[in-house]
Amino acid sequence: MQYGYIAEMLAETSHPNATFIAEANNVSLGFIHVRTHKDSISGETCGTVPLLAVSSKSQGLGIGKLLINHAEKWAKNLGCRLLHLEVFANNKKADSFYQDLGFKPETVHMIKPI
C-alpha cells in the first residue's frame, strides 16, 4: 500500500470526512476512510470511499462489510444518496466483494501507456 497516498487522503479536509477503525482486544482489524464529494455530472453530494483495508488475518470475517455499512450510515446521515468507490480492474476479489454488497459498475476508467 502506498503510504503517501494514504496520508494525502487523510489530510484532505475540503469536504466532510471520517476514518473508522475496526478493532478487537486493542488490535486493529481494518479501517475505512469515507468523505463526501460533489458528483461532476449531477452536482449531487455523494459519499466516496477512497480507502478500505482489512488485515490479511481478518479477511473473510465480515470486517469489510461492517466497515462499508458504517460508511454508508455516515454518508446517509449527511444527506448522501449514493456511495462511490473505485477498484482496480484486475482486483477480482475486491470487485466481487463490492458487487456482493450492492455496488454496481458505472464507468470504466481506461489508460494507455505512451
Q: What is the pLDDT of residues 72-86, one digit of tens each?
A: 999 999 999 999 999
pLDDT digits 0-9 by tens, 2-34: 556 555 655 666 668 999 999 999 999 999 999
Quote the pTM value. Answer: 0.83
Report strand pairing: 17-24 vs 27-38. Answer: antiparallel
Tell me how far apart the alpha carbons of residues 98 and 79 are, in angstroms, rounded to a whole number.
22
Q: Is the domain defined by 3-100 classed in CATH 3.40.630.30?
A: yes
The residue ranges of every structural domain in the chain are: 3-100
Task: State phi, psi for 8 to the nearest 5 degrees.
Answer: -65, -45
Question: What is the pLDDT, as a whole number, of residue 10?
Answer: 57
> Would you state the pLDDT for residue 42?
84
Looking at residue 101, the DSSP 8-state letter turns out to be: T
CA angle, 101 then 104 then 106, to 5°: 155
Side chain identity, residue 2: Q
Average pLDDT, the chain: 89
* DSSP conformation letters of 8-30: HHHH--SS-EEEEEEEETTEEEE
**Distance between CA atoms of residues 3 and 5, nearest Å:** 5
Cβ neighbours around 38 below 10 Å, total? 11
- Return the residue matching grid coordinates 449514493: 82
